[in-house]
Amino acid sequence: MHTSAVTPTHCPYCALQCGMGLTRGPAGVEVVERPAFPVNGGALCGKGRTAPAVLSSRVRLTGPLVRSPGTGELEPAGWDEALDRVADGLARTRAAYGADACGVFGGGGLTNEKAYALGKFARVVLGTSQIDYNGRFCMSSAAAAGTRAFGLDRGLPFPLADVARTDCVLLVGSNLAETMPPALRYLTELRDNGGTLVVVDPRRTRTAEQADLHLAPRPGTDLALALGLLHLVVAEGRTDEAYIAERTTGWEEARAAAMAHWPEYVERITGVPVPLLRAAARMFCAAEHAMVLTARGPEQQAKGTDTVAAWINLCLATGRPGRPLSGYGCLTGQGNGQGGREHGQKADQLPGYRKLTDPAARAHVAAVWGVDPEALPGPGRSAYELLDALGGDVRSLLLMGSNPVVSAPHAAHVEQRIRSLDFLAVADVVLSETALLADVVLPVTQWAEETGTVTNLEGRVLLRRRAVDPPDGVRGDLDVLRGLAARLGHGKGFPADPREVFEELRRASSGGPADYAGISYERLTEGDGEGVFWPCPAVPDGAPAHPGTRRLFLERFATDDGRARFVPVAHRGAAEEPDAAYPVVLTTGRVLAQYQSGAQTRRVDELNAAAPGPFVEVHPRLAARLRVADGDEVAVVSRRGRVVVPARVTTAIRPDTVFMPFHWPGEGRANTLTHPALDPVSRMPEFKVCAVRVERA
């Protein structure tokens, strides 16, 4: 990168994919604003501003590591030796136990090209069905509910800019001020324009402080809350009967289910007073245009799909989806959480968001890959189920861009399962807690050192461009997969050039729900690089290019009959309710200065200074009962483990609830405590609700 050059690119962290520029300054690689990019308008949070710090050789991997048979320690090795070891480990497992004994685990931060190539590698080279990714832990419940209701899942079916122009936003389980700070401006603009904001969150977060109305339900009761609001909408005659008749099916059953959740009953379940329920229903229904936006709060539950369905039912009953400046959307979390599940690293999907069980989808993708459709394995295990099977049915694992030792539920158990593997290979940027357990560690390029596409929470496909050269000992993930495929008998079909991979991805996705066929690298570099919204199908030669689909469902939904589907749901309790032994509810989440498992952000001095370690938020009443002061060490204990962290005494949390961020390993690892119960549809674990007790340490 030349001294004066500025390379336009995107932040490596959350699904906003904020636009930024990179240049070389006196202190090394520096971030500059990119105000023309519409999503963030140049604004960046601290993580984005400090992202170049992880490019430093001081904090990242710069050469392969292999575990020495003699010392048992990870030691430096050459690339040929490292790749030979990985290929041999996978081949031995496959020969001894069958293809499904080889597992593949991906990440929601991988580019579309890498996610696509990883899914192809698993199914074509290894022949295994055992592939999933950590995006399963992100928004799989919202994806399942959206697909069930609308026939298609895209995080936001409209641009973020529409949020500022609507009249009321009902924000459920999202703390944008800390998880996606540049997006908070849309809520600020909404209120400046005279709109109203209702926030549903058991904590009084920085985002909830901006709300016109804050509802603080007990964790795990969001489903009852949504049903209670729909009950009020029906009882007060606020449904849009014409819309329901013209654009939906299943209303009678959904209405009957909601009417069993009368306000006083919902108050007993949620702890939200009836007057606040009535106020929220009035605010939402009085608005000409209104949206419900959900995030991890309602989604990371063992009933997350039904919970999101209840919020969608509220939107449908009031005539919101498929109308301008209205509807339902999910705030995707991970950097490429949207694209990551569209192109094949999810257990049940093929590229283009095609179903692995659909014969036509299998035939289309198999033709692109040059294989027999019958040779493609069927659906495999979901993420937690795959991790739980390690060391049993699954004996070897190739893991790319994930750190489940910190991020998975029931993490001590997952760590034990990983340790029990016959063979583990990890490709990552840093030596994460999971990589420390590997037999082979492969150092790979990161965001600023590679070109590739990502898809943000709006369904906007973007091109991240290479701005700097990686260290000499580092290779791209695509190059790693090419080297492994060649060693395992597939010398063709795995190019290392991301443009070549994207061209194949376009063909594989063509005609699918997530159709990228009309998108090219050339289109993604036009103008200010604002990106193209999918679906964007190819057009005949000579015809104008398809513009992309900024807003979905305006004319019809993506169902067979074009109508949205109500889904009747009813409240049910959490997988683990408080009792005498574990009387408090634990919920988990993020803080502003750290990201996900912290594998990268914990290596940035500025971010560590702002958020140096784990803690537990405790209400003053609970602190008084425990005789605990702010900063005192406490033990938080669940049926799965015990952690010791400082107490942070605050009225921002409910008296019956404690909150822990999940970014740290060791004795402060929040996911030591969390429950692995799974949603029956999405297979999402119950991260947001488990029973604990708090003790003086």
pLDDT tens-digit readout, 281-293:
999 999 999 999 9
- Which tokens hold the place of 285? 């229904």
Extents of the domains making up the chain: 65-137+336-533, 140-331, 584-696
The pLDDT of residue 3 is above 70: no
CA distances from 162 to 167, 190, 241, 394 (A): 10, 9, 25, 45
Q: What's the rounded Cα separation, in Å, for the pair 519 and 546? A: 9
The pLDDT of residue 526 is above 90: no
- Which tokens hold the place of 310? 């209840």
Can you name the residues that pair with 22 across neighbouring β-strands?
Answer: 7, 31
Average of per-residue pLDDT across 6-18: 95
Contact between residue 399 and residue 427 where contact means Cβ atoms under 8 Å apart: yes
CATH 3.20.20.60 fits 584-696, yes or no: no
- SS3 (DSSP) at 555: coil
What is the DSSP secondary structure assignment for residue 126, as one 8-state letter?
A: I
Handedness of CA 88, 89, 92, 94 (dihedral sign): negative
The label of the residue with tokens 């402080």 reads 209
CA distances from 239 to 8, 135, 229, 424 (A): 46, 35, 12, 55
Peptide bond into 655 cis (omega under 30): no
pTM summary value: 0.96
CA distances from 563 to 551, 557, 602 (A): 16, 5, 47
- SS3 (DSSP) at 117: helix
The pLDDT of residue 56 is above 90: yes
Question: Amino acid identity of 83?
Answer: L
Nearest to 109 by CA among 79, 138, 149: 138
Contact between residue 110 and residue 334 where contact means Cβ atoms under 8 Å apart: no
- State residue 28's pLDDT score: 87
Helix (H) or strand (E) holding 694: strand 690-696
pLDDT above 70 covers a percentage of the chain that reads 99
Nearest to 411 by CA among 136, 666, 109: 666
- Which tokens hold the place of 525? 């570099």
Residue 626 CB-density burial (10 A; 0-12 exposed, 13-18 middle, 19+ buried): middle
Which CATH fold would you assign to the domain 65-137+336-533? Rossmann fold (3.40.50)
Q: What's the rounded Cα separation, in Å, for the pair 515 and 536? A: 6
Q: What's the rounded Cα separation, in Å, for the pair 371 and 365? A: 9
Q: What's the rounded Cα separation, in Å, for the pair 237 and 231? A: 10
- State residue 139's pLDDT score: 87
- State residue 467's pLDDT score: 95
Helix runs in 4-159, H state only: 46-49, 79-97, 112-120, 140-150
Beta strands in 566-668 (DSSP E): 584-589, 616-618, 633-638, 641-649, 657-661
Q: What's the rounded Cα separation, in Å, for the pair 126 and 637? A: 41
Report CA dihedral (574, 580, 582, 587) to the nearest 10 degrees.
50
Within 13 Å of residue 236, how many CA atoms lie on the same side as its CB?
21
Q: What's the rounded Cα separation, in Å, for the pair 154 and 513? A: 10
Contact between residue 508 and residue 368 where contact means Cβ atoms under 8 Å apart: yes
Report CA dihedral (93, 96, 97, 101) to the nearest 10 degrees.
0
The pLDDT of residue 27 is above 90: no
The pLDDT of residue 1 is above 70: no
- SS3 (DSSP) at 23: strand
Helix (H) or strand (E) holding 362: helix 359-369
Which CATH architecture group holds 140-331?
3-Layer(aba) Sandwich (3.40)
- State residue 335's pLDDT score: 87
The separation between the first and the last C-alpha atoms of the chain, rounded to the nearest angstrom, is 52
Question: Amino acid identity of 599?
Answer: A
- Which tokens hold the place of 180? 């996606």
Q: What angle do CA 587, 589, 593 make, to 5 degrees?
A: 150
- State residue 16's pLDDT score: 96
Peptide bond into 219 cis (omega under 30): no
Within 13 Å of residue 189, how many CA atoms lie on the same side as its CB?
12
Average of per-residue pLDDT across 388-404: 97
pLDDT tens-digit readout, 482-491:
999 999 999 9
pLDDT tens-digit readout, 268-277:
999 999 999 9
Average of per-residue pLDDT across 405-427: 98
pLDDT tens-digit readout, 603-632:
999 999 999 999 999 999 999 999 999 999
Q: What's the rounded Cα separation, in Å, for the pair 608 and 419? A: 29
- State residue 2's pLDDT score: 43
Contact between residue 257 and residue 567 where contact means Cβ atoms under 8 Å apart: no
Average of per-residue pLDDT across 249-260: 98
The pLDDT of residue 4 is above 70: no
